[in-house]
Chain A
């Protein structure tokens, strides 16, 4: 067998993994890899403007497609710049593989130029990471990296590649199988536990399904819909679970938690049977955890054993893939037609109560004809975009208003940093999704603070003629922090004013993109339409009410039934 350079073996391995797109940034330690990329036609490289953008783009690509996102950066600062992106993906269980350059093996530990202990730095924020010290291990390590990233509870995996390893010659053979003694995720749920779940559901009076990002990661949306419809159990989702169950469905309660709907939080507070599926009882969901679902027996289905009974004690745990467990539950339920009939009858009063909560305290805001309300912008975006539109958000008020007022009907349409709450995530994530789906509408709903955290990626969008539309809800504040200062710190707005921001229209134009300014409610609809019809990236600067707050809100640490409402 003829030998090839490590760099060529890396590209060949990517081919074996079916990789079509790589996001990244070149540098000294990865020159050999970029030299190989120079003649690679079947893998498109997307040159970002900052390594953080590369990871978020790979992450957005992964969330939108369900495939593993890939990025490639250089050693030292290239690698350290990826850390925020990696931590973002890790918190939200997103499968990505990050290749980082490293100084040559004989220089490691010498404080060489652009050296950083990348494996050490990224150890706590990756699912796993590798330093390749022998070119003979390269193909095996890459195979393992992709396997670990996309199996079990998904997550980011980093592979650190010293420069001499990329130059070294190797006879390439991509392994067919992975052998990892210490890594065997459980997919199939325990049959005894599944039977207990079914019995439990069938004797419940006020059941609620609480669905998280695991529904989307395991492609279980259809099965969740089947389960909910056959049992008539209402469904609330987390931020990460939005789209996993169609918003607007009769059984949909919307999002729960700190900025969740009244009906969702009340239903969870009153339920006697909470069925948590692919969710992890995050503090933004539970509020005061001792008073979360206080009347319920809690069922928890999750692929990660560490999620179970971590924050809230669970009565019936099942470790397994959400989809496989749901299919088992559905199969068992199908044999219990009579019990289901009785359950339906019993749930009538529960549904009456839920309809009452929905009717009495819906999500709402006070429309104004003189000043643009940010919620109105999100509602209009929802109305004017096709059903398969991919929406990215930044973090803060823009994210919560999107979660509340954009009606996600399908999975993999929302790209948002849920766990880490990374400002600057949305724009590069939208770019990643647009690379995957050049023909679909991709929108980043941003704030004037967040957008400035990765605004340099506008050059990437222009260079690759990506149609990403950025809708900036510009309130001249770091709105969510200001809101907390307003509620809990006596309106002492310490350093949350964004009084000085660039002229986003001129800025977009300076990058070769289009920009629009909208300051009247009556212009909102037209501007969104114009933006959607304009080719290439567009920034729309909506001058919204500066002191609009996100409601409902549960103060941090309070039980979720204690909601501040408008």
Chain B
């Protein structure tokens, strides 16, 4: 099962390798990983997506907590959260395809960030499935380059009121 774990860590040199070393050393998977400082520059937030059963997830959380530089570990199981990822994709766009490519971009609300005679570069933000569908639709035109940021998540606030 896929899990998203968010981890608050000290923003120090070497902390990323402590975390990634823990995953590789203990045979846990990392599907994606994103790291950046929080509003407090001394603290960074890592969002890790991983695959494993409940027992593995339990060990991952405990092992992460055991690291001295890890301040807080939270997983998103059973919580309502917003999940986003950004991709940039450079797609071939010959004269005859240009309107179709733009139409797909429009449907997905992707933004064209660079354009030239033979290609468009587009950015798109969304959940994993949406990005997947977008890339699949563009594939037939020929994808020249592709990059993705890895998942970030945020828990939804005030769940109680929304239920009303």
Residues of chain A whose beta carbon lies under 8 Å from any beta carbon of chain B: 119-120, 123-124, 127-128, 131, 148, 180-183, 304-306, 308-310
Q: Flag if B17 contacts A120 (CB, 8 Å).
A: yes
B68 touches A180 (CB 8 A): yes
Contacts of B71 in A (CB 8 A): 181-182
Task: Tell whether, in the assembled complex, residue A305 and residue B10 are in contact, meaning their CB atoms are under 8 Å apart.
Answer: no
Give complex CA distance A148, B71 in Å.
15
B25 and A124 contacting across the interface, CB-CB below 8 Å: yes
A124 x B66 contact (CB < 8 A): no
Instruction: Return the chain B residue nearest A181 by Cβ.
Output: B71
Residues of B within 8 A of A124 (CB): 21, 25
B100 contacts the other chain (Cβ, under 8 Å)? no
What 4 new A-B contacts, CB under 8 Å, besides A119-B14, A181-B71, A182-B68?
Answer: A182-B70, A182-B71, A305-B66, A306-B66
Contact assessment for A306 and B62 in the assembled complex, using a CB-CB cutoff below 8 Å? yes
> Is B59 positioned at the interface, with any CB of A under 8 Å from its CB?
yes
- Interface footprint category on B: 20 to 34
In the complex, chain A residues whose CB is within 8 Å of the CB of B68: 127-128, 148, 180, 182-183
Measured CB to CB, the closest approach of chain B to A28, in angstroms, equals 24
B residues near A306, Cβ cutoff 8 Å:
59, 62-63, 66
Q: Is B69 an interface residue (CB 8 A)?
A: yes
Q: Which 6 A-B pairs have the closest CB atoms?
A: A306-B62, A182-B71, A128-B68, A183-B68, A305-B62, A182-B70
Report chain A residues within 8 Å CB of B62.
305-306, 308
What is the distance, in angstroms, from A352's C-beta to the closest C-beta of chain B?
A: 39
B55 part of interface (Cβ distance < 8 Å): yes
Q: Is the CB of A310 within 8 A of B18?
A: no
Residues of A contacting B18 with CB < 8 Å? 123
Q: Is A123 in contact with B17, judged by CB distance below 8 angstroms? A: yes
Cβ of A148: which chain B residues have Cβ within 8 Å of it? 68
Judge if B155 is at the interface, Cβ distance under 8 Å.
Answer: no
Whole-angstrom distance from the CB of B2 to the nearest CB of chain A? 22
Contact partner, A182, options B10, B58, B59, B63, Cβ 8 Å: B10
User: Contacts of A308 on B, CB cut-off 8 Å?
Assistant: 62
- In the bound complex, residues from chain B placing their C-beta under 8 Å from that of A119 are 14
* With A124-B21, A128-B68, A305-B66 as contacts: A181 and B10 at CB distance below 8 Å: yes
The complex places the Cα of A124 from the Cα of B69 at a distance, in Å, of 14
Shortest beta-carbon distance from B132 to chain A in Å: 35
Contacts of B25 in A (CB 8 A): 124
CB pair B21 A304 closer than 8 Å: no
Contacts of B70 in A (CB 8 A): 182
User: Across the interface, do A305 and B21 meet the contact criterion of CB distance under 8 Å?
Assistant: no
A309 to B18, CA, bound (A): 23
Report A-chain residues with C-beta under 8 Å of the C-beta of B58.
Answer: 309
Determine whether the beta carbon of A304 is less than 8 Å from that of B10: no
Task: Pick from B65, B68, B70 the residue with the most CB of A within 10 Å.
Answer: B68
Query: Whole-angstrom distance between the alpha carbons of A181 and B43 in the complex?
Result: 11
**B76 contacts A by Cβ under 8 Å:** no
Contacts of A305 in B (CB 8 A): 62, 65-66
Does B30 sit at the interface, judged by CB under 8 A? no
A306 to B69, CA, bound (A): 16
Q: Report the separation of the CA atoms of residues A504 and B18 in the bound assembly, to the nearest whole angstrom.
A: 44
The answer for the CA separation of A105 and B98 in the assembled complex, in Å, is 55
B14 nearest CB across to chain A (Å): 6
What are 17 A-B pairs at a CB distance below 8 A?
A119-B14, A123-B18, A124-B21, A127-B68, A131-B13, A148-B68, A181-B71, A182-B9, A182-B10, A182-B68, A182-B69, A182-B72, A183-B68, A305-B65, A306-B63, A306-B66, A309-B55
Q: Kindly state the separation between the CA atoms of A179 and B59 in the bound complex, as whole angstroms.
A: 26
Q: Does B67 contact A (CB under 8 A)?
A: yes
Please report which residues of chain B, range 7-43, place their CB below 8 angstroms from some CB of chain A when the two chains form the complex: 9-10, 13-14, 17-18, 21, 25
Q: Return B130 CB to nearest CB of chain A, in Å.
A: 35
* A267 to B98 Cα, complex, angstroms: 77
Task: State the Cβ distance, B71 to closest chain A Cβ, in Å.
Answer: 4
A183 contacts across to B, CB distance below 8 A: 68
Residue in chain B with minimal CB distance to A183: B68
Complex Cα gap A119–B72 (Å):
23
A318 to chain B, nearest CB (A): 15
- Choose one: A120, A182, A304, A310; the contact of B67 (CB below 8 Å): A182
Chain A residues within an 8 Å CB radius of B67: 182
Query: Are A123 and B21 touching (Cβ within 8 A)?
Result: yes
| Docked pose: A203 CA to B158 CA in angstroms | 46
Complex-state Cα separation, A317 to B86, whole angstroms: 42
B9 to chain A, nearest CB (A): 8
Q: How far is the CA of A182 from the CA of B55 in the complex (A)?
A: 23
- Find chain B residues with CB under 8 A from A304 CB: 66
